[in-house]
Chains A and B, each alone.
Chain A
Amino acid sequence: MIVTENLTKEYPGKRAIEGVSFTVEQGETVGFLGPNGAGKTTTMRILTCFQPATSGTARIAGYDVFENAEEVKRSIGYLPESPPLYLDMRVREYLEFVSRIKGVPRSQRRARLEDAVERCGLGDVQHRITGKLSKGYRQRVGLAQAILHRPPILILDEPTSGLDPKQVVEVRRLIGDLAGEHTIILSTHILPEVSMTCGRVIIINQGRIVLSQRLGDLAAQGPDRETLLVQLQAPGDVLQQLAQLEGVHSLEALPEDGTRRYRLVCQRGPEARHRVAAFVVQQGWKLLELRTQETNLEEIYLRVVSSEVEAA
């Protein structure tokens, strides 16, 4: 649904993003995570045809954002960081205007408008002036604006920023409701938000993608499993032999740095850990490290983001 290749955007004297490549499949909800100024908004602006990339390509629903901007704009609903409201208009008037510029056919306008108003819980405020609404309601109007023309793709830039906790919960629930029928990219710098609403996370830092992974793969898969990190020195085909151990569900080799490192998903509890350790010793391999890996998002985020900072 969304494919970007090597997107780079340079501003005078500054490189906002560099070599950003990722793919989002239809129906996915992807969280775009990164510290402030990491390049999230820039990436989203490129996807929405608001700004062109300096180099690289992005295709949305098969259309190039530069060559076929018209079609791309039809396929996306975009909620910028601050909802783009005309503060002197009434909610309904505003949504009607948006449905017109989004090219919703006249015959369907009314139905779409009612639908968006209902989904976003705007029934009570639809005749009020947007400038007099609370921040939470403005955000909802912003969301209503984005879904009005039923775009297959939603791009939401920090949809919960600046809201109070109750409003945050409401907006997240709303996004959850939309997730089924839309492909969604949402950016945030709030970690739990990603685990709550997204199926996949892309972490971006200093303009580069540092991690792109399904959340299911990040967390130990289910309550009865955990992830072990094993580092050892050994000859031969270690992978095969480890995989045959009882209690090991899956494993993968990590990049080597002189020693061999593996990530194993095993039965939760000391049993499996012991079995792995005993097996390694029995084989005469040198066990250098064996530990369970904390797989909550926060740790991963801090790890990838701070290691980037050190490297810089």
Chain B
Amino acid sequence: MRGFAAIYAREIRAYFTSPIAYVAATVFVVVVGLFFITLLRNYLSFDAYLREQMLSMGQEATPADVHQYLLRRFMGTLGAVTLFVLPFLTMGSFAEEHRAGTMELLLTSPVSQRSVVLGKFMAASTFFVLLLVLSFAIVGSLFLYGDPHAPSVFVGYLGVWLQGESFLVVGMFISSLTRSQVVAGVGGLGAALLLWLAGLIGDPSSMAGRWLNELSLVTHFEDFTKGVFDTKHLVYYVCFIVFGLFLTMRSLESLKYR
């Protein structure tokens, strides 16, 4: 892992000095905030409707379940927004190095390819976690005014995080294949979208359809949003990420022969 720390530090620095990251962060926070407000409004009107119904039936009015009717939807939305934002964080990771010729510097220095790939991945992950922290400032307001089930929120975030890391890996891999940031960005988004929705392609009653569904990123995401933690989903995401990192390293190695 020689050189990992240096590469990680440089990447972090690059994130905080480039406009892309700030634009991505701003868009992320604003969009997430807007969705939250919409979802909150929906929840409130649904809650009011429910109370009215209960009272009219002569029952005691209880509030609608916050997790079921608000947080679960919010987590789903958060996952979808990361899909559209994260590819722009990773699009430059290798494409820009190819274009600027700095790849030659990295690959002729005594650092391992693993350090290069992991250094970049960890830096992107760090920035992504920061985005999640920002988004929590929005959801966290619920804890001030209500009493959401904290472990469920945590599990939801775990799901968003794992799924987001998968998007980052996909984006990095695509970026290692091209020297154009635009191609890497659009390609990364397309690839992530495809993997996300793979389940929709096949006929769910057929064998192939079920396989595609199991491969799809969103299938494994759903349980997390419900606040249900299942190790099989954890294993899926970890495998996905490790395999993606492995492919990226192979892709760098193959540069030598191109």
Our pick among A78, A86, A97, A98 for the contact of B104 (Cβ within 8 Å) is A78
Indicate if the CB atoms of A145 and B110 lie closer than 8 Å. Answer: no
Contacts of B108 in A (CB 8 A): 48-50, 73, 76, 78
Indicate if the CB atoms of A98 and B105 lie closer than 8 Å. Answer: yes
Contacts of B141 in A (CB 8 A): none
Our pick among A50, A74, A88, A89 for the contact of B110 (Cβ within 8 Å) is A74
Q: Which residue of A lies closest to B5 (CB)?
A: A100
Contacts of B2 in A (CB 8 A): 103
Report B115 CB to chain A, min CB distance, Å: 9
Contacts of B3 in A (CB 8 A): 100-101, 103
Distance between Cα atoms of A103 and B112 in the complex (Å): 12
Query: DSSP majority for the B interface?
Result: helix
Asked if B10 is at the interface of the complex by the 8 Å CB criterion, the answer is yes
Contact with A along B230-256 (1 / 0, CB 8 A): 000000000000000000000000001
Asked if B142 is at the interface of the complex by the 8 Å CB criterion, the answer is no
Contact with B along A91-134 (1 / 0, CB 8 A): 00100011011110000000000000000000000000000000
Asked if B205 is at the interface of the complex by the 8 Å CB criterion, the answer is no
B: which residues have CB within 8 A of A? Answer: 2-3, 5-7, 9-10, 13-14, 17-18, 100-111, 256-257
Report B138 CB to chain A, min CB distance, Å: 31
Distance between Cα atoms of A50 and B108 in the complex (Å): 6
Indicate if the CB atoms of A86 and B110 lie closer than 8 Å. Answer: no
Indicate if the CB atoms of A70 and B110 lie closer than 8 Å. Answer: yes
Report B256 CB to chain A, min CB distance, Å: 5
Report B181 CB to chain A, min CB distance, Å: 14
* A interface bracket (residues with beta carbon within 8 Å of B): 20 to 34
Q: A50-B108, A86-B14, A145-B105 are in contact. List 20 more A-B contacts (CB 8 A).
A: A48-B108, A50-B104, A50-B256, A70-B110, A80-B104, A81-B101, A84-B100, A84-B102, A84-B103, A84-B104, A84-B105, A85-B100, A85-B102, A86-B100, A88-B14, A98-B105, A101-B110, A102-B109, A102-B110, A103-B2
Contacts of B107 in A (CB 8 A): 49-50
Within residues 228 to 267 of chain A, which ones have a CB less than 8 A from any CB in chain B? none
Contacts of B10 in A (CB 8 A): 86, 89, 97
> Closest 6 CB pairs between A and B?
A100-B6, A84-B105, A73-B110, A101-B109, A48-B108, A84-B102
| A97-B100 CB under 8 A given contacts A50-B256, A88-B14 | no
Contacts of A36 in B (CB 8 A): none
Q: Which residue of B lies closest to A82 (CB)?
A: B101
Indicate if the CB atoms of A101 and B102 lie closer than 8 Å. Answer: no
Asked if A52 is at the interface of the complex by the 8 Å CB criterion, the answer is yes
Distance between Cα atoms of A18 and B102 in the complex (Å): 28
